[in-house]
Structures are given as C-alpha cells and as structure tokens.
C-alpha cells in the first residue's frame, strides 16, 4: 500500500513539473511576443519619453509576466533567473559578499558612456518659469538593458524631461536646458573637467532670459551598485537620491541648508529613498558646482548606472511632489 502511494505521489509530482514547464514555455512566449509588440511602439528616445509619460504603468504587465516565469523556474530549480549569480552559488558555493555604498565622484567621461543627446520630446513655451533643470554631465546613462537594439539610451537628460513634465503637471512652471552642453565643450576644445564651466554659461543665460527663475536643479546619476542605488517602498522600486553641496564658496551654507531641508522632507515621506547630503571640497573635485550663483541651487544625484528608467521615473514622481511642497512654502 505504501509503495502504491509513493508511486502515485511520484507520478503526481512528475505531472506537476511537466505542467510547470509547459506553463513556463507559454508564459515566456507571451512575454517575448508582448514585449516585442510593445517595443515597436517607439523608435527614439523622444518617443519613448512621451510613452513613459502617457502611461506610467506601461511596464507592469511585462514585470508581472517576468515575475511569474521567474517564480516557476525558482520553484523547480531554486535558481533566481533575475540573479544569474545564484546559478554560480548553487554550483560552486559562490558568494559575492556584502556590497558597499560608494561616495559621489566628480569623474565624467562621456566617450565611455552608452548614451546620446536627447532632443526636447515636448517643446513648448513656458511663461515665467520658476524651476530650471539642467545636466552638467548630460550623457550619464542608466541601464539600457532590453533597449540597446532599439536605439533607446536612458540617461539624465531623459530624467530631466520627465521631472519637468511632472512638475508642470503639478502647477510648478519648469524648463529644461536643452542645449547640447557636451558638444559645446568639444567645440571649445575643453576637456570634460570643464563641464561645470560650460553649464555655468547656460545657467547665467537662462537667468537673463527668464528673471522669474528661483530654483535650480543640476541632475546627475551616480556610479554604484544596484543594491546601493535602489530601495523598495510599498512594493515599488525607486532609484535613490543623493544631495551634493560644494563648500568652496562664501555662501555655501545657504545651499547646504536647502539640501538638508529637502533631504529631510524626502526621508519623512519616503524612508531610505535618500542617501543623504554629502559636502565636497579639496583636490580633484569641483567644490562649487555653480552653487555660488544662487542659494536655491541643488545638485541631485538620481539613481546609479544600474537603475532602470522605470525606477528613475518612480523617484521623479516622488521628487516632484516633494519639490512642489517645498516651493509652495515660499
């Protein structure tokens, strides 16, 4: 009787595994089909930005399909396909150890980045703008996984356009510097250490053209591990932020107070979304970051090079709400 029961149990388990593999094949096919069908909807960075804005949850159905497939594989093999290292760990008892969080670096070499200049995807005249967003390092890129073949290169310019649209939707008049700062540097035969000199030219010109400007954001992304640059809040993944303040000018305290205030607002509303406020001075750093131009100027590191544009967009939406709250206090 026991043998018969064991035989039936093995038979049932075998059928379950077979069914699971069939489901996996079907789900993988559907995921691939839907993804390829979806990916054809855009053919440029600009179109992709508008797609993100028009449907912020566009990625969820693909994530759900991918998660289902991952869970099926993990159930039968104990291997996490989202983390290929788990295969090494299972086979060779491999362990990467704990990851460490890196500090902000001034280093920037666009020639080594998989990124490109992005035109304004939604050009329109904004009267009396309050906020000016720019990128001293325009080509700092995010993860382009799944997008390389379609000429989509998520970068900080893309994040800037997304933040502008979110702020404008909230009633905060915002513009983005759309000049090609990288090309400006090349035309002048400067090296990339002159990035802040180049962006300063455009900041000062923007102030002349728009005297109403009273808040400035230099948007960057850091270079650090995915674990260090990502946080999950209420089952939603966000790219972490970091505030950078230069101490090599007389009025840095006002910039530091501003960064600390906004950082505290972020932490109160989105625990662990911020990595904090870091101050910079001394050799091999800029030390000013153009913050001597205006007391309401922040350098914001939004995510890292391994973050996806969806994680960046989640943070952009959160920061837009925080910035609106701060600006409405004035």
> What token pair was written down for 301?
């590191």
Distances (CA, A) of 256 to 39, 189, 242, 260, 319: 42, 33, 13, 6, 18
Question: How much is the pLDDT for 95?
Answer: 36
pLDDT at position 243 is 98
For the residues 322-327, what does the mean pLDDT come to?
98
End-to-end CA distance of the chain: 81
Residue 84, pLDDT above cutoff 80: no
Question: Nearest-CA neighbor of 224 among 325, 329, 282, 307?
Answer: 307
Residue 279 backbone dihedrals phi, psi, to 5 degrees: -105, 145
The predicted pLDDT at position 76 comes to 43
Task: Tell me the average pLDDT across 198-203.
Answer: 98
When pLDDT is averaged across residues 264-290 and rounded to a whole number, the result is 96
CB 126 within 8 A of CB 169: no
pLDDT value of position 115: 83
* Confidence check: pLDDT of 73 > 70: no
pLDDT at 160 over 80: yes
Specify the higher pLDDT residue, 293 or 113: 293
Would you mind telling me the total number of residues written for the chain in this entry? 330
Residue 277 has a CB neighbour count (10 Å cut-off) of: 18
More confident residue, 69 or 173: 173
List residues bridging with 279 in a β-sheet: 245
DSSP state, residue 101: P
Q: What phi and psi values does residue 137 have, to the nearest 5 degrees?
A: -115, 80
**pLDDT of amino acid 318:** 98
What is the CA 260 to chain-centroid distance, rounded?
A: 21
Helices (H), 55-173: 60-77, 85-92, 156-169
Residue labelled with tokens 């035989």: 7
**pLDDT tens sequence across 94-107:** 333 333 343 555 56
Mean pLDDT for all residues in the chain: 82
pLDDT band, very low/low/confident/very high, at 284 (cuts 50, 70, 90)? confident
Segment among 1-5, 57-61, 187-191, 307-311 with least mean pLDDT: 57-61
Three-point CA angle 49, 52, 54, nearest 5°? 110
Give pLDDT, residue 273: 98
Dihedral of CA atoms 85, 86, 90, 94 in degrees, nearest 10, equals 40
pLDDT band at 34 (very low <50, low <70, confident <90, very high): low
Rounded Cα–Cα distance for residues 239 and 159 (Å): 11
Share of the chain above pLDDT 90, in %: 60
Helix (H, G, I), strand (E, B) or coil at 282: coil
Return the higher-pLDDT residue of 329 and 137. Answer: 137
The pLDDT tens digits for 215-246 are 999 999 999 999 999 999 999 999 999 999 99
Alpha helices in 150-276 (DSSP H): 156-169, 181-187, 195-209, 226-229, 252-269
Q: Are 121 and 46 in contact (CB under 8 A)?
A: yes
pLDDT of residue 89: 37
Helix (H, G, I), strand (E, B), or coil: what is residue 224?
coil
The DSSP bridge pattern shows strands 174-176 and 215-222 to be unpaired
pLDDT at 196: 97
What is the pLDDT confidence band of residue 48, given thresholds at 50, 70 and 90?
Answer: confident
Q: Which residue has the higher pLDDT, 128 or 83?
A: 128
């Amino acid at each position: 009787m026991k043998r018969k029961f064991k035989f039936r149990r093995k038979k049932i388990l075998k059928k379950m595994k077979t069914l699971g593999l069939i489901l996996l094949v079907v789900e993988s096919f559907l995921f691939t089909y839907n993804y390829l069908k979806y990916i054809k909807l855009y053919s440029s960075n600009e179109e992709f930005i508008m797609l993100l804005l028009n449907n912020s949850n566009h990625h969820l159905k693909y994530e759900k399909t991918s998660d289902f497939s991952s869970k099926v594989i993990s159930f039968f093999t104990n291997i996490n396909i989202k983390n290929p290292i788990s295969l090494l760990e299972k086979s060779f008892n491999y362990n990467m150890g704990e990851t460490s969080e890196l500090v902000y670096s001034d280093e920037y070499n666009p020639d080594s980045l998989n990124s490109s200049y992005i035109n304004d995807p939604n050009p329109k005249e904004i009267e009396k703008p309050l906020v000016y967003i720019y990128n001293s390092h325009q080509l700092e890129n995010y993860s382009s996984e799944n997008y390389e073949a379609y000429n989509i290169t998520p970068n900080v310019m893309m994040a800037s356009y997304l933040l502008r649209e979110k702020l404008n939707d909230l009633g905060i008049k915002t513009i983005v510097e759309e000049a090609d700062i990288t090309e400006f540097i090349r035309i002048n035969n400067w090296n990339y250490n002159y990035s802040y000199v180049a962006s300063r030219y455009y900041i000062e010109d923007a102030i002349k053209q728009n005297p109403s400007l009273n808040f400035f954001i230099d948007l960057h992304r850091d270079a650090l591990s995915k674990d260090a640059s990502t946080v999950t809040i209420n089952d939603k993944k966000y790219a972490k932020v970091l505030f950078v303040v230069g101490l090599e000018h007389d009025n840095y305290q006002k910039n530091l107070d501003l960064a600390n205030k906004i950082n505290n607002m972020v932490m109160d509303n989105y625990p662990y979304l911020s990595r904090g406020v870091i101050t910079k001075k001394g050799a091999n750093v800029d030390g000013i970051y153009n913050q001597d131009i205006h007391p309401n100027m922040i350098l914001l590191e939004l995510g890292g090079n391994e973050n996806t544009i969806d994680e960046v967009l989640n943070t952009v939406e959160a920061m837009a709400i925080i910035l609106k709250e701060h600006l409405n206090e004035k």
